[in-house]
Structure 1
Amino acid sequence: MLNFSPYFNEFLIVAFAMFVALLSPGPDFAMVLKQSVTQGRKASIYSSIGIGLGISVHVVYTILGIGLIISKSIVLFSIVKFLGAFYLIYIGYKSLKSSGFELQADQTNTVKQVSNKKSFMMGFLCNALNPKATLFFLSLFTVIISIDTPIYIQSIYGVFCIFATMAWFTFLSLVLSQDKVRRFFNNFGKWFDRTVGVVLISLGITIAFSK
């Protein structure tokens, strides 16, 4: 029978570290904000699910030890870093080129709606290609989590991180997609998209030149 009690204190530290990480603004938050305001609640929730499942990529390769290999290899880490930076810059460029959005009386959006699959993939790639997430989970599973902690316990930690992320960004989606919030950003029209675009491009450039 599974005895989790010896690892409860370790789990609390993992949960606290994850909570702090989720509160830190970054590409995932920018993605959810953009999706909530321009595409609406449903699209943002699909992106939130994608972000959560994107964490599974980091959890799996970190538990397998591949994360350590990536962090020690300049070439491999640079590939991950530049892929993530390019994706953020691409999404930011698309936002800059956007003609903006406008809410009608029925609160529907005049911008072209993206599919649920695309919304999911946008969130998934945003997190999976984030090199900062790579370093966070590498630190989490090598510094905070003991080397003696069984793999199945580490997997439980990983599942917790996945669902905690989904829950947090889904909550943000529910808040940010409210009509009052969307109407507020609607006042800025195309400038909202351009601002988000600049933020995403800036994040991409920062990641590209980070060491």
Structure 2
Amino acid sequence: MYWTEFLTVALIHLLAVASPGPDFAIVVRESVAHGRRAGVWTALGVGAGIFVHVAYSLLGIGLIVSQSIVLFNALKWVAAAYLLYIGIKALRARPADPAAAELQADEATRSSRGAFVTGFVTNGLNPKATLFFLSLFTVVIDPHTPLAIQGGYGVYLAGATALWFCMVAWLFSQQRVRAGFARLGHWFDRMMGAVLVGLGIKLAFTQLR
């Protein structure tokens, strides 16, 4: 019964998590500066941070939707505007200077706990994630969907996020791949920018059910 909704959530999340942002930057930095192990622990921290957003989204969704249509519309427009902003910004991405990606490895040992906390805090304080989850749980997910099902979505989102960034950590711990991404990454940014602009426009015209 909820498979269509789940697939919609999964698709939107895939597009959002693949869009470069603070989480992406911190995982890349940790992977390049401290190695694959630190990068993976940072990725797991980012995934755990998702539960922060899921928790307040679940706690606040009933109040937002049932108490104030004005507040709902305000939130919808803010979220849509943010998606348009980051989408247009990504569309304007320019080729990176290959030399800028040449970060020197840090000889100091990075603790697993330190890497995990860095990822967790970065995601937990990420305003992009805040607006994304509030819009996801107020617009995409039907407010009548049982909390247990919505919680299941949250578990999936956390796990998928962690898995994605573990892949990023593995990728960017390889020197040759990192250098190649530095040359071609702007095309990826532009593609994701077009997708985000489309999502922003769709969100702006979404009506409360």
TM-score of the superposition, structure 2-length normalised? 0.64
**Structure 2 gap segments, 5+ residues each:** 65-70, 72-101, 181-209
Q: 4+ runs of 1 displaced by more than 6 Å?
A: 66-69
Which residue matches 1:30? 25
Match of 1:155 among 131, 151, 155: 151
Instruction: Give the number of equivalent residue pairs.
Output: 144
60 and 32 in structure 1: CA distance in 2 versus 1, 3 angstrom threshold: same
Distance 2:110 2:61 in 1: 34
Say what the alpha-carbon RMSD is for the aligned residues: 2.2
Structure 1 position 23, deviation (Å): 1.3
Identity %: 49
SS at match of 1:64: helix
Task: State the secondary structure of the residue aligned to 1:169.
Answer: helix
1:8 aligns with 2:28: no
SS of residue paired to 1:65: helix
Conserved? CA contact 1:58–1:67, under 8 Å: no
- Cα distance in structure 2, aligned partners of 1:60 and 1:157: 12
Hey, what's the Cα distance between the residues in 2 that align with 1:121 and 1:101? 22
- How far did 1:152 drift? 0.2
- 8 Å CA contact 2:38–2:112 kept in 1: the answer is yes
1:132 shift after superposition: 1.6
- For residues 37 and 177 of structure 1, the distance between their equivalents in structure 2, rounded to whole angstroms, comes to 6
In the TM superposition, what is the alpha-carbon distance from 1:180 to its structure 2 partner? 3.4
Aligned position for 1:81: none
Deviation string for 1:1-41 (max 9, x for gaps)?
Answer: xxxxx100000100011001011110001001111111000
Describe the superposition over 1:54-75 as per-residue Cα deviations: whole angstroms up to 9, x where unpaired: 0100001110117977xx6xxx
Query: Is the aligned partner of 1:41 residue 2:40?
Result: no
Answer yes or no: is the 8 Å Cα contact 1:101–1:111 preserved in 2: no
Query: Any unmatched runs of 5+ in structure 1?
Result: 1-5, 73-99, 103-108, 186-211
Distance, in Å, in 1 between the alignment partners of 2:125 and 2:36 is 24
Residues in 1 aligned to 2:63 and 2:131: alpha-carbon distance in whole angstroms: 9
Q: Compute the displacement of 1:131 (Å).
A: 1.6
Distance 1:19 1:117 in 2: 27
